[in-house]
A = this chain, B = another copy of it.
Amino acid sequence: MTPKSGNTKSHDSWTGDPAQLLRVGAGFRLAEVDPGATPGYAGGRKGAELDLAAGAARLGELQERLFAQSRSDATADSVLLVLQAMDTAGKGGIVRHVIGAVDPQGVALTAFKKPTPEELAHDFLWRVERRLPASGFIGVFDRSHYEDVLIGRVRALAPPEEIERRYGAIADFERRVADAGTRIVKVMLHISADEQKARLMERLDRPDKHWKYNPGDVDERELWPQYMAAYQTVFERTSTLDAPWHVVPADAKWYARLAVQALLLQALEAIDPQWPAATFDVAAERARLAAT
């Protein structure tokens, strides 16, 4: 399950490997990441549009192979994209524009909300386990078990020793999931506080966006430094070889979409799924069919 290094061949305007450039490694400091940057990409907004379309075609083909492979091998690999971010950072746009280009039949999307009473009566990973992608699927988590160490920590929704326990539990859980054949791609979309302010203001300015606005968003915004500290801790405790974190600058939506697509493409290229061989006698079936 060691990720192969590789470059996304279909993307001509990348000047560096996004997986390497965006990966959270030793000594990583979130505070040093510029949310307005576009690391490793030289094509600009126009180039990104073309590269996103080319990447979508490639992603579609790889997804179909991944799915096909799983039809005759129930232990075949799967992919899990975990999306975390502050409000308005663009998780929805990733789902719509990157995941939306893939055949819906091969995608398993879960938007995790505030836990229900039933979910709270179980360990925090219980509801997550149930939503893991089956063999051959691309799973997408819009929010995830990381909420339990982000808002969970900032809002003290559990005792400190319970929050502390969770980091190790997550690392163990993700190691098992990876060992069982799921390639995990963890992404934090990183926007600046100023950009969030502008995006929230736009939601207030447009009646067709009012439904996306929640007064609670401003309450959370006032805890920005605490959230950034909680993310820093998440990165230090849970960016593992099995499931590394990537911090994707997201003030430029076009960059964030292209970068997440590139990370997904690399995960699929590392799996390198193949069309499965026929499990029947092709000539015999052709004769049977011809006779009908």
The complex is assembled from copies of this chain, and their number is 2
**Which residues on the B side are within 8 Å of A71 (C-beta)?**
211
| Bound form: Cα–Cα A112–B69 in Å | 20
| Bound form: Cα–Cα A69–B210 in Å | 11
Q: Are B204 and A282 in contact (CB under 8 A)?
A: yes
A197 at the interface (CB under 8 A from B): yes
Residue of chain B at shortest CB distance from A72: B211
Binds B, one of A96-104, A231-239, A256-264: A96-104
Q: Are A109 and B100 in contact (CB under 8 A)?
A: no
Chain B: minimal CB distance from A214 (Å): 8
Contacting B at CB under 8 A, from A34-73, are 68-69, 71-72
**Which residues on the B side are within 8 Å of A278 (C-beta)?**
207, 210, 213
Contact of A111 among B99, B105, B200, B210 (CB under 8 A): B105
Chain B: minimal CB distance from A101 (Å): 8
| Bound form: Cα–Cα A140–B197 in Å | 37
| Bound form: Cα–Cα A286–B277 in Å | 60
**Which residues on the B side are within 8 Å of A68 (C-beta)?**
208, 211-212
**Which residues on the B side are within 8 Å of A218 (C-beta)?**
285, 288-289, 292
A253 at the interface (CB under 8 A from B): no
A-B contact pairs, 14 of them (CB 8 A): A69-B211, A99-B104, A100-B103, A100-B104, A104-B140, A105-B109, A204-B285, A207-B278, A208-B275, A210-B276, A210-B277, A211-B275, A213-B278, A218-B289
Known: A68-B211, A200-B289. 11 other contacts (CB 8 A): A95-B103, A96-B104, A104-B107, A105-B142, A201-B289, A204-B282, A204-B286, A207-B278, A211-B275, A215-B288, A218-B288
